[in-house]
Amino acid sequence: MIPAPIPRDSAYAALLDALRGVAEETAALLRESPTTDVPIPGSQWTVGEAAAHLALANKLMAALAAGEQRSYGDGTPSGLAAANAASLAAFPERDAAALAEEITRHTRAFTEAFAGRPASEPVLTPLGPMDLATLGSYLLTHMLGHGYDIARALKRPHMIDRRRVELTLPFLMTAMPRVVDGRSAAGHTACYDLRVRGGARFTVTFRDGLAEVSPAPASRPDCTILTEPVAFLLLALGRCGPFSALARGRVIAWGRRPWLALGFPLLFSAP
């Protein structure tokens, strides 16, 4: 039986629109740049390398959305980093126009495959099993992170906004327990009430270094953290630090142990 297409008025339609929009906006940044040799602040990559990585990742995600089985790394942040390095070495394309076309083409392939299959269908991804809808959220999160890097390197406005951050939450909530930093979280026990200003609220509970995420509000959290949406995503992706976010009022914390907010992002290794 051929699955029914996802309705245009559903949350999944909003996700598809966001994926296409971010791909087009990132491609526009590349097409406007005279060179891709620009270094990305705080990264070992140039704009060309980040764009090439996006093209390769979008191609991989499109294949997964189409039902293909692909392996990529070992599911750990270090394993993903090694796989990224190997794939970039095997893909020398750094031309801005060519990479812009690759990014948008593979994004279209993903959305076409996604729209024709059940959103609840399980898939195996570089960060472990999840359903197809969460894979779409994963792809959006990934494109927003590297699109942000490219925009910052080129001194252009980035494409992260509150609505797009909301669409990344299914992936982020799924990924959190899988990217806990074992050394930072060793022996840690605490309950966090996480709130995105104007949007979602969920609970992250650490028990002896292991994290569990629940959409239900915590009854007695040790620390409540309220974060401005863009800052929430940048913190989750390791693009900004908790000290600067707190100093600028983008993060507010309270509760029985409010000081835990400073260390919360450090409990994870951004993939």
Find the CATH number of the domain harbouring 146.
Answer: 1.20.120.450
One domain for residues 113 and 193: no
C-beta of residue 50 within 8 angstroms of C-beta of residue 15: no
Q: CA–CA separation, 41 vs 38, rounded Å?
A: 9
Residue 7 in this model has a pLDDT that exceeds 60: no
pLDDT of 6? 43
Q: Domain boundary at 138, 166, 194, which?
A: 166
**Strand 251-254, strand 223-227: pairing:** antiparallel
Give me the number of domains the chain comprises.
Answer: 2
Residue 1 in this model has a pLDDT that exceeds 70: no
Residue 9 in this model has a pLDDT that exceeds 60: no
One domain for residues 158 and 184: no
Quick: pLDDT tens for 146-155: 999 999 999 9
One domain for residues 114 and 30: yes
Q: Is residue 147 part of a domain?
A: yes
Range of the domain at 262: 180-267
Q: CA–CA separation, 245 vs 232, rounded Å?
A: 9
Q: What is the dihedral of CA 50, 19, 168, 199, to 10 degrees?
A: 130
pLDDT of 76? 81
Q: Is residue 2 part of a domain?
A: no
Tokens of 217: 């509000």
Q: Which run of H or E residues covers position 194?
A: strand 190-196
pLDDT of 199? 87
